[in-house]
Amino acid sequence: MNSITSSLTGELETWLKEQNQPAFRYRQIVNWMFAGRAGSFADMTNLPQSLRDALSRDFRLWSTQVTRHTKAADGTEKLLLQFRDTSQIECVLLREGQRRTICISTQVGCAMGCVFCASGLDGIKRNLTTDEIIEQMLRLQRLLPLEERLSHIVVMGMGEPLANLDYLLPALDWAHADRGLGISARRITISTVGLPKSIDRLSRLAIPYHLAVSLHAPTDPLRNRLVPVNHQIGLQSIMEASDRYFEVSGRRLTFEYVLLAEENDRVEQAQQLARLLQGRNALLNIIPYNTVDDLPYRTPTPHAVQQFCKALTSQGIQVQVRQRKGDKINAACGQLRRTTEMDSSDQAPGLNSPVVNLDRPFSNPDQQSSKSQE
């Protein structure tokens, strides 16, 4: 039995025809899923009872099960979703001011091998399918009261989105289409380790998604060590592909830099980074590392973060330090799944410190940034 989310394209329409239903029933069901936030077929009250019964007989509403739901005091909520093959992924809802941002995953595990990241510790299992990606959006949206809408999506959960574009792009179509979630493309951020061919594919698409490129190092030798996939790519080709994306989208690029104590947080490295970014219309997001159990990397001191940022801003580079969100619920990519898979009992609060993030300007941490994710 298929889920509605996996049948949105094609199958549901064909099925409705077989049931001798008029074409507008398809639009009604889509509307119930995206705008109406239906939790069951019974919720779809403008469909005839016989059609609701037939839907329940032939379809499941969801492909996933929520196996865990955690909430942090700051309003961040995290879902651990289990698929039919028992794979698990996580996705997060973040609340800040008027913003309602969701962070979604694209793969079970990750193949990129970033040495500090929890998501890839056990390698990659598989790509998520389009419906599995859509379902994260719908399930997170259902956590909001009806009068609140999702405003932003960041594709920054588990996995490398650009290694799964075939399934991700149709899901993002539903995210920004009016008949879907109606979130404008520029409020949808795709975060990538930097795969030039896929960045070029996004450039050709010419949909102005916001691109965030994870650098983490200003030079190839250091990046090869922290982000092993860099061996096959190299910083130069990433920067060139990013520039091409900027030319097409006209939108300021974001680069991400996870700051790891005594690995990539020296002032000299900030100066190298400033040279790399010089002349580009770019924003640098500094993310102080969130520690992961079993990994040796540490969070830099606030002083080190400040010195690093100062060395960049003094060269005219625009810098933001990412605000920690979801403290105590292991809201960092891969962390919740990992603690759950390692130990199914309740985790100790604050075991892994926080994570995901809404961006605030470095210079004025109390002021909400309205531009960074636009």
Question: Considering the rule CB under 6 A, would residue 254 count as an interface residue with ligand SAH?
Answer: no
By beta-carbon proximity to ligand SAH, the closer residue of 2 and 299 is: 299
- Given the DSSP bridges, would you call strands 59-60 and 65-71 parallel, antiparallel or unpaired? unpaired
DSSP assignment of 221-273, as one string?
HHHHHHSGGGGGT-HHHHHHHHHHHHHHH-PPEEEEEEE-TTTT--HHHHHHH
- Residue 41 or residue 289: which is nearer to ligand SAH going by CB? 289
Q: Render the burial of 198-235: b for 16+ CB within 10 Å, e for the rest.
A: bbeebbeeeebbbbbbbbbbbeeebbbebbebbeebeb
CA distance linking residue 351 with residue 102, whole number of Å: 23
CB of 192 to ligand SAH, least distance (A): 5
Q: Counting contacts by CB under 6 A, is residue 77 touching ligand SAH?
A: no
Q: Which positions ≥6 away from 173 have C-beta within 8 Å?
A: 180
Cβ-based neighbours of 288, under 8 Å, separated by 6 or more: 259, 299, 300, 305, 321, 322, 324
Q: Assess 150 for contact with ligand SAH (CB under 6 A).
A: no
What is the closest distance, in whole angstroms, from the C-beta atom of residue 191 to ligand SAH in the complex? 4
- Which of 7, 290 has the CB closer to ligand SAH? 290
Task: Select 15 or 246, whichever has its Cβ closest to ligand SAH.
Answer: 246
CB 103 within 8 A of CB 92: yes
Nearest to ligand SAH by Cβ — which residue?
Answer: 214
Q: Is position 333 annotated as part of the catalytic site?
A: yes
The packing angle between helices 24-34 and 11-18, to 10°, is: 130
Does residue 138 touch ligand SAH according to CB under 6 A?
no
Number of residues that bind ligand SAH (CB under 6 A): 18
Taking residues 183 to 202 in sequence order and writing x for each that binds ligand SAH by CB under 6 A, - otherwise, the string is --------xxx---------
Binding to ligand SAH in span 93-132, by CB under 6 A: 112, 114, 116-117
Active-site option among 77, 90, 132, 263:
90
Binding mask 305-334 for ligand SAH (x = CB under 6 A): ---------------------------xx-
Least distance from C-beta 161 to ligand SAH, angstroms?
6
For 155-224, the DSSP string reads: E-SSS-GGGSHHHHHHHHHHHHSTTTT---GGGEEEEES--HHHHHHHHHHT--PEEEEE---SSHHHHH
**Does the protein bind ligand SAH through residue 287 (CB under 6 A)?**
yes
From residue 203 to residue 242, the character string flagging contacts with ligand SAH as x (rule: CB under 6 A) and all else as - is -----------x----------------------------
User: Within its chain, how far is the Cα of 345 from the centroid?
Assistant: 27
Tell me which residues are annotated as active site: 90, 333
Binding site for ligand SAH (CB under 6 A): 112, 114, 116-117, 156, 160, 191-193, 214, 256, 258, 287, 289-290, 292, 332-333
